[in-house]
Structure 1
């Protein structure tokens, strides 16, 4: 996976950084979790403070265009983000058989 940050803007009002990126990959499309982990590691931030908003792939291209937001703290994240985006970023609960 190769990340290219195309836009990096600081939003002081909402205590976050807003990133746009292009991801090139080989094989199947990477999962949201793996994208989130890799992006957080690249930015030296906790992955719990990162929210992936938009991911788009083009048919036939091994390229993904996306947006992410990295918050300064958990309270800013919870007060700003929509509930469904927060739920999407959480790990799936293990089901008991």
Structure 2
């Protein structure tokens, strides 16, 4: 990661950072870039919003424009709702949620077993009738 510009905006309580991020393969996700910026600038990732990601054609690099806020309250107040939704991270499932997810998956298996039983009974009745 190479930070090309860094501009302070004290009135808004943020810093606008422009960086060139080297990557291999597909364009990195917002979360990946957010983590690497947080590590590079030694700030909390909750205070970083990735405004734009510009992939460069034929190159393994992307240009990134990000806002780094000093206060998370200002971030929520100033940034658009759609950007905040893009930066939400999926919560890790707790063991109780995993059990609930597995329970409905087990029920259809039982239903299939009950559907197969009448077919088998019909076959046995046909054999008895013959």
Give TM-score, length-normalised by structure 2: 0.67
Which residue in 2 is equivalent to 1:36? 34
Displacement after TM superposition at 1:50 (Å):
0.2
Structure 1: stretches of 5+ with no match in the other structure: none
Higher helix proportion, which one?
Answer: 2
- Superposed counterparts of 1:8-87, under 5 Å: 8-87=6-85
Matched residue SS, 1:14: coil
Deviates more, 1:83-92 or 1:42-51: 83-92
Across the aligned residues of Structure 1 and Structure 2, the Cα RMSD in angstroms comes to 1.6
2:72 and 2:45 map into 1 onto residues whose CA distance is 11
User: Which among 80, 89, 108 is matched to residue 91 of structure 1?
Assistant: 89
1:11 and 1:54 map into 2 onto residues whose CA distance is 18
Displacement after TM superposition at 1:58 (Å):
2.1
Deviations 1:42-94 (A, max 9, x none): 10100000000000112221110110011011111111101111111111356
2:72 and 2:86 map into 1 onto residues whose CA distance is 16
1:92 and 1:84 map into 2 onto residues whose CA distance is 16
Q: After TM superposition, where is structure 1 displaced by more than 3 Å over at least 4 residues in a row?
A: 93-97
Kindly name which structure, 1 or 2, has the bigger radius of gyration based on alpha carbons. Answer: 2
How many residues are matched? 95
Structure 2: stretches of 5+ with no match in the other structure: 102-130
Higher strand proportion, which one?
Answer: 1
